[in-house]
Every structure is written in structure tokens, then in C-alpha cells.
Structure 1
Amino acid sequence: MDFLQAVVLGVIQGLTEFLPISSSAHLAIFPKFFGWDDPGAAYTAVVQIGTEIAVVLYFWRDIWTIGSGWVRGVFSAQARQLPEWRMGWFVIIGSMPIVLLGLALQDLIDREFRNLWVIGTTLIVLGIVLGIAERVGRKTSKIESLTMRHAILLGLAQAGALVPGVSRSGATISMGLFLGYERAAATRYAFLLAIPAVLGAGIYKLKDIPGGENAYGVGPTIVGTIVSFVVGIAVIHWLLKYVSTRSFAPFVIYRIGLGALVLILVGSGVIAASTTVG
């Protein structure tokens, strides 16, 4: 049964990682709906490696261009005039807030933040924020016009995703819309910005997989990670096509509805607020 659960959670991870609806919230909520143990912060972090590998493969040309351009810029003043050099620094600087805060708040992330009162509330609040950003954002700037100031603000927004329910992509996209970027540009940059943080967190949490913080164990975690990779590839392709012509309004409605449902179920005692493993 653990393997079946791991497959289901892998599908959920693959479906929700890139949509602005919070994969970590879904991995905490849906086990409660099914009567399963919470997989834990370690499982959540490691299974995200699958979806980030999907990002790496999907955007490998962009990553190679930015990475190689940044390396050339280290040794060449001429290369430092190119956009690849600047974009490399934008991703590095933008990744720092979530890395530093993630290390500083590790115990809160693993325990207190994984509470359904918190998750339900953040789903609603950030859903409203995304809705406002969709409404007021100019949506005219392209990713090539990114500045260091904007990269820092986008990185700070991404750091909010340390709280389950916020959504890494949702927070970054919301900030991008507030700053005037096109939906596709904000979404694309959110994908690129997430790579260092998510891969780093997943690799860091690998040490906890055989232990008590993970309810599933090594084998099911590997299965869930593979499933999340396969589903994630399809979701990336679909989302980038979707945001080029349509709004984030359905995700706003979904977030608020799910958050309200969670708070009602917890408040009525149908499900417990705590997501402690075991």
C-alpha cells in the first residue's frame, strides 16, 4: 500500500508543483483526506527533486545558455556585457533568501508550519494576493527587462513558500505580475529561480528519508519522485501554453475554495490540524 500511496502523492506533486496552488500544501492535506500518514517534510522536499529535474530537462537550453554565459563572464569583461551574465546573477541572488531562511527556520518548516490551520489560511490569503496581482499587474514587461532590484524582490517572494500553502510559483508569479511582467515571463522566471533552491533542499533532506521524518521509506520515495518527474513534464508544457493567453483566475478560485474547505474540516473536527508523522 505504501507504494500505491507514493504513486498517488507523486502524481499530486507533479500536478501541483508548477501550478500556483502549493504542492507542499497538497502533500500535507490529501493524506489527511485519505486517512494516510503525513509523508513528512523530508518526503515533500525529496519528491520535489523529480519535478525540478523535469524543469531542468524542459529548460535545458535556457539553463545552458545562462550557465555557460555566467561562467564566461567570470573570465571575460566582454562576456559580462551580455544578458546571460546578468541573468545568472539574478538567479543566484534571487535564490539566497529562500536558502538562508530555509536553514534558519528548518525546525518551524518541519513542524509548526505543517499545520492545517496555517496551510488553509495561507491558501486563501495568497489566493487573494494572486487575484489582486492578476487584476492590477500591467503584464507588459518581458523577462529580458529583469533588473537586480526585481530579482531580489522575486527572491523574497519565493522565500514565502517556506510556509506550506503559499506556493513557490504562486508567490513568485504574483510578485512578477505586481512588477508588471507578462504572465509567461513571470512563470518562466519562477521555474528558473526555483531550480537551485528546490534541488538544494531535496538533496539536503535525503539524509532524513530512511528516518522517522518520512512515513514511506526509501523505495516508495523513489517511486514518488519518478512519478512526479513524468507528470511534471506534461504540466510544464501545458502551463506555459495556458498562461500565454489566459488568466490565473481559476487557480485563485481553487485556492480559496480548498483553503476554506480545509479550515471548515479542521474547525469541525473532521480532520486533525496536526500533520505529525505516525
Structure 2
Amino acid sequence: MEIFSAVILGIIQGLTEFLPVSSSAHLILVPWFFGWEPEGLVFDVALHVGTALAVLAFFARDWVRLARETVLGLREGAPLGNPDRKLAWLLVVGTIPAAVAGLWLEELVEARLRSPLITVFTLAGLALLLWYAERRGRQSRPMARYSWGDAAWIGIGQAIALVPGVSRSGVTMTTALLRDSDRVSAARFSFLLSTPVIVGAGMLQACRLLGAGDGGAGLEWPVLLAGVAAAAVTGFLCIKFFLRYLERRSFTPFVIYRLLLAAVVLAFYLKG
């Protein structure tokens, strides 16, 4: 893989990890469109490192505050004593479904569901569901009013995102909207919830890589670093832009984009 390809894929990962358009779909489809060789596990780990750095950097103050309040809450015997303490435990609840599904179903997903045709259906299906959720939901509840049920349902949505084309951010935001969350809170909770999943997925893949004995063999470090840097910088800027965007605008452009992308992929697939 050349540095140019690594940068392009890093930018795609940084954008699509946090926008409701599906990073897995784009990382499958872009090499498919251009006839590039699959990037492999090493580069996949590198891209996860990049997006993990982006979300950790953007929400660094939030995570420090949540960690501090969690420790204080446990020491004081009041783990739910304020909104930050409750939010930390809501994120734990929301993370559990994806962690369980990832460990049990990852091989099935990799073997059976990574195809352009399945991506067509998941891209279009979630687009319509996101459109419906934004119009049906009252958008009246901020993140401070999230319940345990909200966290559990959003976590189940995140688990479904194992299927390529669904979009982790897209399905978690859609679920939050269906639970009457406002748009910005839906996105913010989705991004916070993504942190342990992205970091955990990267660590799991890295452990598998090292366990296979390929951890340092033949790595092209300039290529890997280019992918990491592109994913990290793009991801950080994407989070910042998207949260500001949602303060005044809707998800409609992303719904349209997903439907158009599904149509393009279907056309290419049928064309052979």
C-alpha cells in the first residue's frame, strides 16, 4: 500500500467513523471501486488507533471528569450522586451489548455479511429509519435526562452496527432519537459511547495480530503512520464540525447520501 492510499483511507475512516454513513461500508467499498488490495489487519488496527486518538483527544476533559466522579462516587458510597456519575454508568450499560456481540458474533459477521449487496440493504434501511426517527421523536430530552432503558437500547443499537453498512454512529443516534433525545445529545452520547468500543476493538485486533506472530513483520511504518495521522486529524475535525452542525440542522443530508450511495453500489454490483 502506498502513502497516498493510506491517507485516503485514513481520511475516509476519520470522516465515516463519526458521521452516520458507516465507516465499514466505505472501507469495503472504496478499495472495491478502485481495485485496491484489502488493507489487512495491521492497517485496520492503525486506523482504529487514529480514530481512538481523535475521540479521546476531543472528549479528554469529559473522560477525566467522568473518571474522577466515578472514583469519588465509589469512595463516598454514592455512585449515582450527580449527573456525571450517572452518565459514567450509563456509558457502561451502553457498552455491554456491543462488547458481548463483538466477542460472540464477529467471526460470523466477517464470514457471512461483508458483501456489497448486504451493504446496499443496510445503507438504505438505516437511512429510512434515521429519517423516520428524526420526524417521529420529540427531540425534547437532553443527555442529562437519559434513563437506564435509554442506555440499554442505544447499546443494543451499537451492537447491531457490527453488520457492515449499518453505521455505529448512525444506529446509536437513530435509537436515541427514537427515545426522544435531542440531536446534539444523541450525537454526544454516541461519541462518548464509541470511545470504549473503538479503543477495545483496536486493542483486540492488536492482540490477535501479536498472537499470530505478525506484530512487527514487514510493517511499512510511514504508511501506517500516515493512516493513523489522517484518521486522527480528520476524526477530530469531523466530531467538532458535526456537533456544531446538529445545533441548527437535521440529519436529512446524511439520509439522502446513504440512499444515493446504496443506489450507486447496487448499480455497480448489478453491472458486475
TM-score (norm 2): 0.92
Alignment check: 8 A CA contact 1:91 1:193 kept? yes
Deviations along 1:38-92, one digit per CA (max 9) or x if unpaired, are 2246644541231222111111111111111111112212453112221111111
Counterpart in the other structure of 1:47: 47
Q: Tell me the matched-pair count.
A: 267
Alignment check: 8 A CA contact 2:51 2:198 kept? no
Counterpart in the other structure of 1:272: none
What displacement does 1:27 show?
A: 0.6
Q: How does 1:115-194 map to 2 (within 5 A)?
A: 115-194=115-194
* Distance in 2, Cα, partners of 1:102 & 1:217: 29
Deviations along 1:130-149, one digit per CA (max 9) or x if unpaired, are 11111111111100001111
Give, as a single letter, the amino acid of the residue that structure 2 aligns with 1:92.
V
Residue 74 to residue 53, structure 1, CA distance change in 2 (3 Å): same
Counterpart in the other structure of 2:14: 14
* Distance in 1, Cα, partners of 2:259 & 2:92: 32
* Structure 1 unmatched ranges of 5 or more: 270-278
Q: Which of 234, 237, 240 is residue 240 of structure 2 equivalent to?
A: 237
The alignment partner of 2:140 has SS state of coil
Residue 242 to residue 256, structure 1, CA distance change in 2 (3 Å): same
Residue 206 to residue 126, structure 1, CA distance change in 2 (3 Å): same
Give, as a single letter, the amino acid of the residue that structure 2 aligns with 1:129.
L
Counterpart in the other structure of 2:57: 57
Counterpart in the other structure of 1:254: 257
Give, as a single letter, the amino acid of the residue that structure 2 aligns with 1:192.
L
Counterpart in the other structure of 1:276: none
Residue 41 to residue 166, structure 1, CA distance change in 2 (3 Å): farther
Counterpart in the other structure of 2:269: 266
Give, as a single letter, the amino acid of the residue that structure 2 aligns with 1:103.
L
Counterpart in the other structure of 2:105: 105
Give, as a single letter, the amino acid of the residue that structure 1 aligns with 2:18.
F
* Distance in 1, Cα, partners of 2:208 & 2:35: 23
Give, as a single letter, the amino acid of the residue that structure 1 aligns with 2:175.
M
* Structure 2 unmatched ranges of 5 or more: none
Counterpart in the other structure of 1:274: none
* Distance in 1, Cα, partners of 2:222 & 2:97: 32
Alignment check: 8 A CA contact 2:12 2:23 kept? yes
The alignment partner of 1:81 has SS state of coil
Residue 114 to residue 39, structure 1, CA distance change in 2 (3 Å): farther
The more displaced of 201-210 and 119-128 is: 201-210
The alignment partner of 2:161 has SS state of helix
Alignment check: 8 A CA contact 1:39 1:216 kept? no
The alignment partner of 1:180 has SS state of coil
Counterpart in the other structure of 1:196: 196
Alignment check: 8 A CA contact 2:46 2:227 kept? no
Alignment check: 8 A CA contact 1:50 1:229 kept? yes
Residue 150 to residue 196, structure 1, CA distance change in 2 (3 Å): same
